Amino acid sequence: MLIARVDWSSSPAAIAAHQQQRIRVSDSTITVTITIVPPIIEMLASISFHGGPSSHFAHSATRRPYKPYFRLTKSHHVHSVCAFLSLRRIASGRFTIRALNREFDGVTEEKEERPFFPHLYTVKIPVGDRHIIVETGQIGRQASGSVTVRDGETIVYTSVCMSDIPSEPSDFFPMSVHYQERFSAAGRTRQVPCFGGFFKREGRTKDHEVLICRLIDRPLRPTMLKGFYHETQILSWVLSYDGLHSPDSLAVTAAGIAVALSEVPNTNTVAGVRIGLIGDKFIVNPTIMEMEDSKLDLFLAGSETGILMIEGYCDFLPEEKLLQAIEVGQDAVRAICKEVDNLVKVCGRPKMFDSIKLPPPELYKHVEEIAGDELVKVLQIKNKVPRRKALSLLEEKVLSILTEEGYVSKSENCVGAEITPDMLEDEDEEEEFVVDGEFDEGDVHIKPILKKPVPTFYSEVDVKLVFKSVSSKYLRKRLVKGGKRSDGRTSEEIRIIDAECGLLPRAHGSALFTRGETQSLAVVTLGDKQMAQRIDNLVGVEDVKRFYLQYSFPPSCVGEVGRIGAPSRREIGHGTLAERALEPILPSEDDFPYTIRVESTITESNGSSSMASVCGGCLALQDAGVPIKSSIAGIAMGLVLDTKEFGGDGTPLILSDITGSEDASGDMDFKVAGNDYGVTAFQMDIKICGITLSTMEHALLQAKEGRKRILAEMLKCSPPPSKKLSKHAPLILVMKVKPEKVNLIIGSGGKKVKSIIEETGVESIDTQDNGTVKITSRDLTSLEKTKVIISNLTMVPIVGDVYRNCKITSIVPYGVFVEIVPGREGLCHVSELSTDWLSKPDDAFKVGDNVDVKLIEINEKGQLRLSRKALLPDQGTDKPNENQSTAGESKDGGTPQKYTNKGKPRQSSNTPKGDVDKNSEGTFTKRYVGSGKNEPKTSSNKSSTVASSDSGSALINGEAQAG
């Protein structure tokens, strides 16, 4: 870093002290101090100096007898610096010009160098194989805490603000998180095709932004102290995105740093990292390109003391690998938090611990005295709804006593409960006076005071908070000491499971999965590419999802009345977890060319509804005929950590298949999905300040045993999944043509493909640049008809091919146009129409006549020349080969298509659904994806080739290749 310091001084002593330039060199800066003497001041005041060329700087010796005190290589630099000095700070006695270098180690306080930002601090933190740059004090200075975090050229800005007045106390910390990806960060604007591009401003929060909001919120909430009710808002924006470094891990880390710097009282600093697995090596915060080859996508957030949140997806990775990845992530988080703590010591604001307001400590004792015995009985009720109603009635009773009637503690002793008449004194009795400061003890009478029990009243909010806390305490005590849960299960026992497939007759696939009092109705819908979900992302590249799961949690599933509208953040998060869990078991698009939509509607809920969606979704996929790789199941694990407090031996208690009350009163909610061999998705949220790796290992191994039991119950599904396509599902035929012939199918402005759809009645024809053509239809007849048309459009003709019984479509003075295949025409010149001389073609032919023609020439434009004369007997034409076909020349010079020798389309033999038979030449017959009723019948005759030998129409790996 180069620092040019210019001192303005007219003192002779200063001039003598600065006859030479002073240069101070340190590790990262070079400071050049320059003293400006009166002749230079005159020079700076000269208008000609500032307006003239750089050569004006070389004044004569008479005007400037002093030697120059500094030398600059480029003269225009001198001009700009001096102009700044003259125009900006000529009236001041001293000024400084600095070029700041933001890349340095440690925390550096910039006060003297940046007077406009006196509290600018920058720290460089190592993360993985590179560094992130954290800066505070320059942007968002009026917020309680603000910070920018940079990785490469990706920059995330996060601010934290609080309301001045606390809100009403509640059991939920009043914190909201908003994350937004500005499209300007990637140098583009928003695309809204359905509205004509009018709305360019970022609008409603997108689903992936909601997911990042949840990633920020979940690890921060357990660190917030109870009793702090000032509403807190965390805002995070992506200001710059380089397409290489992901902003989500930066957003979590930035939010944790901003909260640590702010006045919000919290227990620990939070940071987040992503872990990838490339080969056998774990990568911390891998780039976007590295993640393409990663077997693991693990996001971990925590503090120096433990893990606060994990969420990850993998392709059947064993539990041992997951634990190794978590350990790597925890080490990275600890390193970040350690550096952030040093930054907080320098520039953090004092925490508002004095704003914490907790319920009176004695209130906990009062609630236990009133409701303790009844709580023990209520918590033994097995069913959720009766237990909830009983708890509600008990809470009303406690509220009535403590807020309306007033409560006197049983431990309070009432003095004067039995009062005798001689203990009472007349209030008008003469008082004793002490004279001169002396008195006789025998003359002083101590009056007995009657203490009446005074009822104590408490606020309704405090009572509700304490009642909930006491209820959780009694539930945890029952789990640890009694060894039984509310429904009578042991800690590792799974609830009763029931599964049924084919519940909805018109749906392509459906399943009803019930586990205890949690129930999911899963429905699968199959469609073509038009049904795929398109995502407008930050980088501007079209992102299309061929598989997506939509999770719905109506209020009726918990027996309540609530809002119905757009999906909540919880619904989006649970749906994504189930979607990512099922994704690894799906076949590739080449094997199953369908877009798959899964809907999971929760009809009952008492814990682990997202994992019920995984189980129900897996069964529904099988019922829809999707050839999944393996069946998977999901389970939710719970935890009671401080077991000594409740009579245990101190060992953490892990609970399998937790209910809603165990989730609310426990310390952890750990969801794991997978099969017997590995994990596909996992998510952990905790309510304490962190758990250890040993506890997590215990939970993962217990979850594996639970999944095995659930998978065994899923095999007992009655009725079982049909495992074949529904008759109501669309049929999709995949063809492969030469890429250069795709435009022939589309036509000018899409006219050709639209005409094919109208003519045949298929639903859609999707073409790709690589030559893949997907035809979607509801019936087999239209599918076959479309296949023939496209095969003819894209086939390659050979000179000598013969076409029979072809229709004349138009007549021109120089010949006739003959349609050799549907939609394609060729020219037969008047000289090739007959052996006799014809003056005009319409003398012998009219539109609609059928003729036999032979292909005799293909010009450089691909246009085809036909001849009828070559097939006439008196010309001695060769007998037409039955295996050859001819093509005609289109009016617009289009590429010809193939047809059979009798004017009918040639078709390759078809096999039943799911069968792919290889012939001796190495080609495959067509495999249709459809129901049994709509399967094509295998031809009894030997099929003829659709195209010529050099560009045939064959079926490879279930795809038709034509041309």
| More confident position, 537 or 193 | 537
In the chain, CATH 3.30.230.70 sits at: 121-347, 497-643+693-715
According to the model, what pLDDT value does residue 874 have?
62
The answer to whether residue 883 scores a pLDDT higher than 60 is: no
- Count CB neighbours of 775 within 10 A: 28
User: Burial letters for 549-579: b for 16+ Cβ neighbours within 10 Å, e otherwise?
Assistant: bbbbbeeebbeeeeeeeebeeebbbbbbbbb
Q: Is 767 helix (H, G, I), strand (E, B) or coil?
A: strand
State how far the Cα of 43 lies from the Cα of 38, in Å rounded to an integer: 9
Give the H/E segment covering residue 780. Answer: helix 780-794
Give alpha helix (H) positions in 131-240.
207-220
What digits encode the pLDDT tens for the residues 383-411?
A: 888 999 999 999 999 999 888 887 777 66
**pTM for this predicted structure:** 0.73
- Measured in whole angstroms, the distance separating CA 149 from the mean position of its chain's CA atoms is 20
User: Span 497-643+693-715: which CATH code?
Assistant: 3.30.230.70
According to the model, what pLDDT value does residue 191 have?
63
Mean pLDDT (the chain, rounded): 77
What is 121-347's CATH topology? Answer: Ribosomal Protein S5; domain 2 (3.30.230)
Confidence of residue 264 (pLDDT cuts 50, 70, 90): very high
Does residue 145 contact residue 160 with C-beta atoms inside 8 Å?
yes
Instruction: Name residue 98's amino acid.
Output: R
Rg over CA atoms, the chain: 41
Check the CA dihedral 828-830-831-832 and report its sign: positive
Q: How far is CA 157 from CA 150, 214, 504, 753, in A?
A: 9, 17, 49, 48
According to the model, what pLDDT value does residue 449 have?
57
Domain 731-794 part of CATH 3.30.1370.10: yes
Can you tell me the mean pLDDT for 793-814?
85
What digits encode the pLDDT tens for the residues 515-558?
A: 999 999 999 999 988 888 888 777 666 678 899 999 999 999 99
- Measured in whole angstroms, the distance separating CA 469 from the mean position of its chain's CA atoms is 34
> Within 13 A of 52's CA, how many CA atoms are on the CB side?
13
Which runs of E-coded beta strand occur in 606-701? 633-640, 653-656, 668-674, 679-686
According to the model, what pLDDT value does residue 257 have?
96
Confidence of residue 251 (pLDDT cuts 50, 70, 90): very high
State how far the Cα of 892 lies from the Cα of 913, in Å rounded to an integer: 39
Give the H/E segment covering residue 613. Answer: helix 609-623
User: Span 801-871: which CATH code?
Assistant: 2.40.50.140
| More confident position, 824 or 488 | 488
The answer to whether residue 78 scores a pLDDT higher than 90 is: no
In the chain, CATH 2.40.50.140 sits at: 801-871
According to the model, what pLDDT value does residue 203 have?
77
According to the model, what pLDDT value does residue 641 have?
86
According to the model, what pLDDT value does residue 127 have?
92
Does residue 285 contact residue 274 with C-beta atoms inside 8 Å?
yes
